[in-house]
Chains A and B, each alone.
Chain A
Amino acid sequence: MKLVTGVIQPHRLDDVKSALEAAGIRGMTVSEASGYGRQRGHTEVYRGAEYTVDLIPKVRIEVLVDDEDATAVTEVIVGAAQTGKIGDGKVWVVPVDDVARVRTGEHGTAAL
């Protein structure tokens, strides 16, 4: 099993979610995140004092999938989240040893 994690622009979330659902993904975890990459932050001015704000709001989306689905899900997220502008975010895949479904106690792919 794999965990696919994407950190994306908040305004792309709806499209990514729809695209994942269309691709047959039945569950995901979404959380608010903040960070920066190459785009760096932005500046704000309060009473003439300029502040550089490094951390920019992002959305983190996490999906647990079977090994063979990982590449396809990654491409779905990238395709739906892409605007082509700097700051679009990243998607990465890491291996997962085990998963348990709390309600039934099932383990492994049965719990996905």
Chain B
Amino acid sequence: MGELDSGLTAWMLVSASLVLLMTPGLALFYGGMVRGKAVLNMMMMSFGAMGLVGVIYVLWGWSMSYGEQSFGGLFANPFEQFGLGGGGVFTPEGEAIIEDGLPLIVDVGFQATFAIITVALISGALAERVKFGTWMVFSGLWVTLAFFPMAHMVWGGGLLSEDGPFAGIAEPVDFAGGTVVHINAGIAALVLALVVGKRRNFGREPMRPHNLPLVMLGAALLWFGWFGFNAGSAYGADGLAGLAWVNTATCAAAAILGWLVTEKIRDGHATSLGAASGIVAGLVAITPAAGSLTPVGSIILGLVAGALCALAVGLKYKFGYDDSLDVVGVHLVGGLVGTVLIGFLATDGGLFYGGGFELTLVQIIIAVVAMVLSAVVTLVIALALKATMGWRVSDEVEVGGIDLAVHGEAGYESLGGARVTTEVKA
């Protein structure tokens, strides 16, 4: 039990609040990108994840991620600190345990927000066509079987951490969640898009974003929240947090430019959707790297991530998978770019700073291991749900609009059909 660092504790409480705001931000970002008849369902997938994961995290999420009883470095015992008991977060007298100046209960809150947003990110692959109940069950299973183990492996001293077997080559770097959050969610989105299948008339019928101002508002809130995500992951109110903050701002800024230049050359227009997407691509890429790059290195990373993600979002049409809102093109590709380029751009051990290939190699290894594990777990859950609850709503519901059929609401007055109110029940 150490001494409380009030500056650190205050900053971490702020950071946790910022990261929690990212999920409603994501709901706006995603909601604006779907057609108007599905905006509420799209947003509800994020809010549903907030509800369910927010509860699960304190029950067994923390214990599985940061508990002491690790099973082979893959995950920790969910029952050891179930409900934050077991003496891990509070003393038997009920006092908050302080570690390195920070009450662990504050860390519980901070980490819970990461679990929530990671699950919500996946929903972008499932726009307009998935049963809400199946999504909720998936959320609970996936966060338990894919997210908590990955958090344990990378941050909880497990397989992919600096205490794991690959650390012998070089110490793997994942500052704020390139593997745990973005590669994890990105590969899960790819697997789900393949298992769940395309929307009716995908690639034939226009599926235009119905509200780009919502998308831009969402991107702005994500950016704001991301300062908690990355600078908060410094676990200090100090220079490292400052570096992560500046790198986060710089990389996202450079990625806007990278994306806009790419689409201006390719499509002839610099678009608002491109700017919003570039912000997110840059934020994803800097996530694992925020603490180990110089701000100039962040510019390079942002330009590369913005350009590559702008090119990657077209792949779904080429390969015919309906990753509706480009979770793969932005989060998987951006996460991989950030995770691997650490090997080149890290000031400590990066190739461009006099290091060898070891860091790049270990970064590739942790990225590949994370992808394989997440893909396998996601595939098993997705197929099990397909065989039992089923993923898809009926064609009639999908075409008519999932909001009205599944949630009994319409996002906009004009989308409720021609309705004449005959009776009001109070």
Inter-chain CA distance A103–B155, complex, in Å, is 77
With a CB–CB cut-off of 8 A, which chain A residues contact B311? 48
> In the complex the two chains form, is A47's CB within 8 Å of B313's CB?
yes
A45 CA / B277 CA spacing, docked (Å) = 14
**Cβ-defined contact, A47 with B268, below 8 A:** no
Say yes or no: is B208 at the interface (Cβ < 8 Å to chain A): yes
Instruction: Give Cα A52 to B208, complex, Å.
Output: 11
Docked-complex contact A48 and B313, CB < 8 angstroms:
yes
A45–B313 CA distance with the chains assembled, in angstroms: 12
Contact A45 B271 (CB under 8 A): yes
A58, chain B: closest CB distance, angstroms = 19
B266, B267, B311 — which one has the most chain A CB atoms within 10 A of its CB?
B267
Q: Report the minimal beta-carbon distance from B267 to chain A, rounded to whole angstroms.
A: 4
Q: Once the chains bind, are B273 and A46 in contact (CB under 8 Å)? A: yes
The B-contacting residues of A in range 34-81, CB under 8 angstroms, are 44-53
- The closest CB in chain B to the CB of A49 belongs to B317
B277 adjacent to A47 (CB under 8 Å): yes
Give the size category of A's interface with B: 10 to 19
B274 within 8 A of A: yes
A47-B274 in contact (CB<8A): yes
* Contacting residues, chain A, for B208 (C-beta < 8 A): 44, 46, 51
List B43-97 residues whose CB lies under 8 Å from chain A: none
For residue B266, which residues in chain A have a CB less than 8 angstroms away from its CB? 48
A54 CA / B209 CA spacing, docked (Å): 17
Residue of B nearest to A48 (CB): B314
Interfacial chain B residues near A47, Cβ < 8 Å: 273-274, 277, 310, 313-314, 326, 329
Interface residues of B in 148-179 (CB under 8 A from A): none
B386 contacts partner chain A, Cβ-Cβ < 8 Å: no
Q: Check B263 for interface membership: any CB of A closer than 8 A.
A: yes
B417 touches A (CB below 8 Å): no
CB-contacts of B261-302 with A (<8 A)? 263, 266-269, 271, 273-274, 277
Establish whether residues A46 and B209, one from each chain, have CB atoms under 8 Å apart when the complex forms: yes
Q: For window 191-207 of chain B, which residues contact chain A by CB distance below 8 Å?
A: 206
Q: How close is A61's CB to chain B, nearest CB, in angstroms?
A: 23
Specify the chain B residue showing the minimal Cβ separation from A53.
Answer: B206
The residues of A that contact B273 with a CB separation of less than 8 Å are: 46-47
Interface of A is mostly: strand
Nearest CB to that of B309 among chain A residues? Answer: A47
CB distance from A46 to the nearest CB of B (A): 6
Cα A51 to Cα B266 in complex, Å, equals 15
Q: Give complex CA distance A44, B314 in Å.
A: 15
Q: Which residue of chain A lies nearest to B326 when distances are taken between CB atoms in the complex?
A: A47
A51 to B209: give the CA distance in the assembly, Å.
Answer: 11
Whole-angstrom distance between the Cβ of B278 and the nearest chain A Cβ: 11
B268 cross-chain contacts in A, Cβ below 8 A: 45
Determine the chain A residues whose CB is within 8 A of the CB of B267 once the complex forms: 45, 48, 50
In the complex, how many angstroms separate the beta carbon of A40 from the nearest chain B beta carbon?
15
Is the CB–CB distance between B206 and A51 below 8 Å?
Answer: yes
Residues in B neighbouring A53, C-beta threshold 8 A: 206
How far does the alpha carbon of A48 sit from the alpha carbon of B268 in the complex, in Å? 10
Residue of B nearest to A45 (CB): B267
A89 vs B206: C-alpha distance in the bound complex, in angstroms? 25
- Interface-centre pick from A45, A47, A50, A53 (highest chain B CB count, 10 A): A47
Whole-angstrom distance between the Cβ of A36 and the nearest chain B Cβ: 14
Hey, which chain B residues are within 8 Å of A46, CB to CB? 208-209, 271, 273
**CB < 8 Å: which of A44, A45, A52 contacts B263?**
A45
A46 and B317 alpha carbons, distance in the complex (Å): 13
Evaluate contact between A45 and B269: CB separation under 8 angstroms.
Answer: yes
Q: How many angstroms from the CA of A45 to the CA of B271 in the assembled complex?
A: 8
A49 to B310, CA, bound (A): 11
Q: Which of chain A's residues has its CB closest to B267's CB?
A: A45
A74 to chain B, nearest CB (A): 34
A45 proximity list for chain B (CB < 8 A):
263, 267-269, 271
Point out the residues of chain A lying under 8 angstroms from B206, CB to CB.
51-53
With most chain B CB atoms within 10 A of its CB, the pick from A48, A49, A50 is A48
**Which of A49, A51, A52 lies in contact with B314, CB distance below 8 A?**
A49
| Complex Cα spacing A44 to B311, Å | 17
User: Which residues of A lie under 8 Å from residue B263 when comparing CB positions?
Assistant: 45, 48
In the bound complex, residues from chain B placing their C-beta under 8 Å from that of A51 are 206, 208
C-alpha gap A47/B206 in the complex (Å):
13
Known: A48-B263, A48-B267, A49-B317. 18 other contacts (CB 8 A): A44-B208, A45-B263, A45-B267, A45-B268, A46-B209, A47-B273, A47-B274, A47-B313, A47-B314, A47-B329, A48-B266, A48-B310, A48-B313, A48-B314, A49-B314, A50-B267, A51-B206, A51-B208
Residues of chain A touching chain B, judged by Cβ–Cβ distance below 8 Å, are: 44-53
Sample of 8 A–B contacts (CB below 8 Å): A45-B269, A46-B208, A47-B277, A47-B326, A48-B266, A49-B314, A49-B317, A51-B206
Closest 9 CB pairs of A and B: A48-B314, A45-B267, A51-B206, A47-B313, A46-B273, A48-B313, A51-B208, A46-B209, A46-B208
